[in-house]
Amino acid sequence: MSPMTISYQISRRDFVDACIAMSRNTYWFLFGLWLLLAVFSAWMDGSEMLRGSSSQRIAAFLPLVGCGLFFLLIAWISPRYKASRMILREVTWTLGDEGVHLASSVSTTDLRWEAFLRYREAPKVFLLFVQKGMAQFIPKRVLTTEQADDLRMLLGNHIKTS
């Protein structure tokens, strides 16, 4: 198979999409934390909430709703804050049977396929993990349908999926 070359300008939106795709464990953690808080609160005030007036019930659940909204706000702001600090530049990927060549205006890197632990296809990006929690990404917006299919096949032949 001949090498596949993909060139594009990274946008902040691409970076946000990649962060969101990588952060699904964080979202589950925040949801679990909120659920634990909800169960603990219900356990502490359970019998009183059932016997109390509707205004007392609302007052008991208001902190839970507030915490849930706070966790959602954190989950929404975090990738956008990271993206605001990202340096945007032109990136070129050349993917072949031997590995990947990445080039930008400030660096070049050659990586053998063994350097990637796994890859995951998210709705808007392909993530290529070089270590746990750290990935290179290719936005789907820069790929034609044929290129996306070729990329899936190439990645599937060389890297395990997650």
pLDDT value of position 29: 76
131: Cα within 13 Å, side-chain hemisphere: 0
Domain residue ranges of the chain, discontinuous segments joined by +:
4-16+88-158, 23-84
Mean pLDDT by 10 residues, the chain (162 residues): 86 83 73 76 63 70 77 77 74 93 91 93 93 89 94 91 70
Taking the C-alpha atoms of residue 121 and residue 132, their distance in angstroms, rounded to an integer, is 16
Q: Which residues on adjacent β-strands are paired with residue 57?
A: none
Span 4-16+88-158: which CATH code?
Answer: 2.30.29.30
SS3 162: coil
Record the pTM.
0.70
Q: Which residue has the tokens 């949801």?
A: 31
